[in-house]
Amino acid sequence: SPIGPAQRRQALEEIGGLKTRQDGAFFSVLGVGALGDGSTHPRLEIRQMEQDTDQWNVYLLGLQRFQGMSQSDRMSYYQIAGIHGRPYIGWDGVEMVTGGSGALCQHGSNIFPTWHRPYLALFEEVLYLNAREVVSKMSPGPLKDRYTAALGSFRMPYWDWAAVPASGQSALPISLQSPTVEVMLPNGTTTIPNPLFAYTFHPLSANDMGGGKFSTWPSTIRHPTSDHADSVSQNDLAAAELDSIRPNIQSRVFNMLSMQHEYTNISNDGIPGDSFESIHDTIHNTVGGGGHMSEVAYSAFDPIFFLHHT
């Protein structure tokens, strides 16, 4: 039978913390439901979350801490992003399938959507724990109190790439396009590298990346200017392309939801006709433009991956 809220909370505190676990103790994905104020809160669209200064700061600070975790820690951004594709190693006791593609993720089959659900739940839970860690370390005061309150309803946001953007804006939110961002801390506002713009490898392991251009880029990149280490992201190109395909993407989603009644007909791109996975592929390729988001082996390192999949 399903466990109740009190048991969930206790289990999360015991096994879901960020502390290094002893060998043989697995991380159990239980969802963030019991970590906040005890009730269920909806996930917000990223542009909606941005309107709420406290939620927004908690999100950015949590993601910044998460991305900063040592890449040798199994709960780090690097290792959790790495579950999806490269490096082709197991995670938390789950080993690679011999003879498989190398990646642990599932694509082109009915379990494409269902594989990604718990994966995203894991990411959300660890993001939450990082955000809570940041807030708990803040010096006492009104800002800490506000952020603590914001944590009560914090959920990882999503990106609605099909939504009609506000006039003068792109389908690619501006918050994802700027290399830096301002955050509010007890001692004032500071500018930090934007954790939604890119993930910077620390270190970049050419071996983990398997050679080629992905072994040269020190950070994740969208529409790269070249295959060399000094290549930069061209988010403006990603934004323009997204804006031109957006009406089509919107009708593809609408058609599927209104005309199709069987999950197996639309779950994945291995079946004839359009599918949620095909639409999702289009977003990957349009955002990536040959950068990380374009390839299954690297896509999850780009922080936009988690907004796209939520």
Ligand X SMILES: N[C@@H](CC1=CC(=O)C(=O)C=C1)C(=O)O
Between residues 55 and 299, which has the closer beta carbon with respect to ligand X? Answer: 299
Q: Binding of ligand X at residue 233 (CB under 6 A)?
A: no
For residue 267, the minimal CB distance to ligand X (Å) is 13
Between residues 103 and 171, which has the closer beta carbon with respect to ligand X? Answer: 103
Cα-only R_g, the chain: 19
Q: Binding of ligand X at residue 281 (CB under 6 A)?
A: yes
Q: Which residues pair with 181 in a beta bridge?
A: 192
For residue 113, the minimal CB distance to ligand X (Å) is 11
Between residues 160 and 281, which has the closer beta carbon with respect to ligand X? Answer: 281
Which of 154, 119, 131 has its CA nearest to residue 29? 119
Give residue number: closest CB to ligand X.
281
For residue 304, the minimal CB distance to ligand X (Å) is 11
Q: Binding of ligand X at residue 146 (CB under 6 A)?
A: no
Which of 107, 302, 116, 307 has its CA nearest to residue 214? 302
Where helices occur in the chain by DSSP H, the ranges are 5-15, 46-51, 53-68, 77-84, 111-137, 142-151, 206-209, 235-259, 263-266, 276-288, 304-309
Between residues 41 and 117, which has the closer beta carbon with respect to ligand X? Answer: 117
For residue 202, the minimal CB distance to ligand X (Å) is 22
Which H/E stretch holds residue 183?
Answer: strand 180-185
Q: Binding of ligand X at residue 241 (CB under 6 A)?
A: no
Q: Which residues, in sequence order, are CB contacts of 99 under 8 Å at separation 6+? A: none
Q: For ligand X, which residue of 284, 287, 304, 306 counts as binding (CB under 6 A)?
A: 284
Q: Binding of ligand X at residue 286 (CB under 6 A)?
A: no
What are φ and ψ of residue 186, in 5° steps? -55, -30
Between residues 96 and 296, which has the closer beta carbon with respect to ligand X? Answer: 296
Q: Binding of ligand X at residue 295 (CB under 6 A)?
A: yes
Q: Binding of ligand X at residue 308 (CB under 6 A)?
A: no
Spatial separation of the C-alpha atoms in residues 150 and 166, rounded to whole Å: 26
What mask, x for binding ligand X by CB under 6 A, covers residues 100 to 139?
-------x--------------------------------
Q: Identify which range of 86-94, 177-185, 229-237, 279-287 contacts ligand X by CB under 6 A.
A: 279-287
Q: Identify which range of 57-65, 161-169, 248-256, 295-303 contacts ligand X by CB under 6 A.
A: 295-303
Long-range contacts of range 171-180, CB-CB < 8 Å, 24 or more positions apart?
Answer: 171/239, 171/242, 171/243, 171/246, 172/235, 172/238, 172/239, 172/242, 172/243, 172/287, 173/46, 173/47, 173/50, 175/46, 175/47, 175/50, 176/46, 176/235, 176/303, 176/304, 176/307, 177/235, 177/236, 177/239
Between residues 154 and 298, which has the closer beta carbon with respect to ligand X? Answer: 298
Chain residues binding ligand X by CB under 6 A are 107, 281, 284-285, 294-296, 299
